[in-house]
Amino acid sequence: MLTVPVRQLGESERRAVERLLDLDPFGGAQVAERVAARGLAWWRAEGRILGYGARRNLESICWLGGNLTPVLATEPAVAAFADLLSSEERLCSSIVGRADAVLGLWDRLSAYWGPARDVRPNQPLLATDALPAVAADPEVRRVRAGEVDRLFPAAVAMYTEEVGVSPLAEDGGRGYRRRVADLVRAGRAYARFVDGKVIFKAELAVVTRRTAQVQGVWVAPEWRGRGIATGAMAAVVRDALVQVAPTVSLYVNDFNLPARRVYERCGFRPVGTLATVLF
């Protein structure tokens, strides 16, 4: 029997949530960005933050929105979150976070929320706070506002290849295009163009005061194997460290050995393991 109930957290507990997020600046980056931008009021944050622990001793949290993301979730917290969530309809498109918590949640929720489209149990979480030792590609730059139309096809190709479904399927891509345009508008999208076409792209999909998290790294198929990725990533990391945040982080599928070699050359080192369950 669970002796510590899970509860939805409100703005009055924001400081306690922020203290927890500071303890896991890389694994909890996506949640930290949302809390910093919109607080804990669910009607503003487009999601809920659940808490586990006594009111004066918050131990673990779990973001429930488009994604389900546990942060510092102990085994008792995982069990408590799953007990609550098993009675609710699944609305999230994925479960993502530290591997032990994500896989623990999925063990308990799969009977209610399954089946999953894909489970990725081993995604190395990497970070760096040092400028890359390798030369940065001078052709990689931030994408300009008028270049969204050029970037969008590459973003769709990356998403489809990485996630396994097209972002155009649900609403013709309108929501995804807005996301891409927002990243460009915020100066968080990078690309290298050749003859007007994107041959490399990456975004700072999450930015907090502790880290800039890179996602959406993609090289055009016809340019793969030519060695452009290392210099291109070095350019992104250099700019992010100088202009955006004190560290740069990312996570990668364990089987993507070419990407892992690129990140190692750019100075990234392991800081944990994530897992993702895709629906």
28-71 pLDDT per residue, tens? 999 999 999 989 886 666 789 999 998 788 999 999 999 999 99
pLDDT at 60: 97
pLDDT at 141: 98
Task: Give the predicted TM-score (pTM) of the model.
Answer: 0.92
Query: Which CATH number is associated with domain 140-270?
Result: 3.40.630.30
Start-end of H helices in 49-147: 75-85, 99-113
Q: CA 117, CA 279: separation in Å to the nearest integer?
A: 5
Task: Work out the percent of the chain whose per-residue pLDDT is above 90.
Answer: 90
At 205-243, the pLDDT tens digits run: 999 999 999 999 999 999 999 999 999 999 999 999 999
DSSP 8-state symbol, 92: -
21: Cβ contacts below 8 Å, ≥ 6 apart: 28, 31, 32, 35, 61, 71
Average pLDDT, the chain: 94
Q: Which two tokens stand for residue 16?
A: 């306690």
Domain ranges of the chain: 7-114, 140-270
pLDDT < 50 positions in the chain: 1
